[in-house]
Amino acid sequence: MKKKNLIVIVGPTGIGKTDLSIDIAKSFDSEIISSDSRQIYREMAIGTAVPEQHHLDACKHNFIGTKSVSDYYNASMFEQEVLSFLDGYFVEHDYAVMVGGSMLYVDAVCKGIDYLPTVDPEIRAELMRRRDEEGIDALRAELRVVDREFYDQTDIKNPKRILKALEVFHMTGKPYSSFRTNTIKDRPFNIIKIGLQRDREELYNRINRRVEIMMDEGLVDEAKSLLKFKDLNALNTVGYKEVFGYLQGEYPVEEAVRLIQRNTRHYAKKQMAWFKKDENTKWFHPDNTQDIISYIKDI
């Protein structure tokens, strides 16, 4: 039986994935799966650069705006939902296009992710309270005791990783490291990975301009409506964190813009480093649409 094909388009934020993904989807009569971990939240359209309505009308998009910021969601849940979607979708289609820059979400679908239990919101809230009252150093010390293996392997300066590991431990009574096997899973479909890249100056100019457009479109008002949710994981992302600082009087709006631009550039660099590690990815400039289509057809 002929295998189906998942075309995966990756690259840093602002590179031009949206326009290209629509061209590719039209060429292969396919729908689009968003692998952006923040576009899935319906309240965050501006700050996550959700495709404009004419883009959404040009091709059917999936996994955009299907969750609320108050919903618990992670890469493991995304993996299961996408695989379930593809099981039905591939009955009538030969190609699907997945596009996005969220590294863990892309890897979850392409390589699989270790099962992690769903964490009780009360456990998460209690750990957040302890973080605020006792400080992250106290939680870091606890992690060293309950899961020395993960403590020795992870970036212990990253509060998110400490909190995640302790959430799993308090939920299950088992170390977070015991759930991590890092085994690549076989998929019943072909995976064709397309990476997009531009000259650094070109990319950074696009990022800077994109932030200005977001501000013009109402990012401040969007962030203001989400201020009460600022401690949720969904809002722990570039764009919102900086605007929250402005809204709380920490600096003027011009500084918020500068910080968003700088932090987005840093994130783009991190994305490229991550995606470049995958030797199965073929790299193109986003404008080389026909070359990309020919490459996919040849495979």
Task: Report the chain's terminal Cα–Cα distance, integer Å.
Answer: 17
- Per the model's pLDDT, the better-predicted residue between 159 and 7 turns out to be 7
For 79-92, letters b (16+ CB in 10 Å) and e give bebbbeebeebbee
**pLDDT(115) > 80:** no
pLDDT of residue 107: 93
CATH of domain 4-114+183-298: 3.40.50.300
pLDDT in tens, 129-179: 999 999 999 999 999 999 998 898 888 888 888 998 999 899 888 898 888
User: In this prediction, what percent of the chain has a pLDDT beyond 90?
Assistant: 80
Name which of 7-16, 33-42, 108-117 the model is least confident about.
Answer: 108-117
Question: Average pLDDT for residues 27-54, to the nearest whole number?
Answer: 96
Q: Note the Cα 7 to chain centre separation in Å.
A: 17
Q: With a threshold of 0.85, does the pTM exceed it?
A: no
* pLDDT band, residue 1 (cuts 50/70/90): low
**pLDDT(219) > 70:** yes
Strands 61-62 and 32-34: parallel
Give the single-character DSSP code of 234.
G
Give the single-character DSSP code of 231.
T
Output the DSSP codes for 252-275.
-HHHHHHHHHHHHHHHHHHHHHHH
Contact between 203 and 15 under an 8 Å Cβ cutoff? The reply is yes
Distance, CA of 266 to CA of 261 (rounded, Å): 9
Burial tier of 77 (Cβ tally within 10 Å: 0-12, 13-18, 19+): middle
Residues of the chain with CATH 3.40.50.300: 4-114+183-298
Q: Does domain 121-179 have CATH number 3.30.420.310?
A: no
Residues of the chain with CATH 1.10.20.140: 121-179
pLDDT in tens, 47-104: 999 999 999 999 999 999 999 999 988 888 999 999 999 999 999 999 999 999 999 8
Which residues, 6 or more positions from 110, have their beta carbon under 8 angstroms from its beta carbon? Answer: 6, 8, 187, 191, 193
* pLDDT band, residue 114 (cuts 50/70/90): confident
* pLDDT band, residue 204 (cuts 50/70/90): very high
Residue listed under structure tokens 């910021």: 69
Beta bridge partners of 7: 97, 192
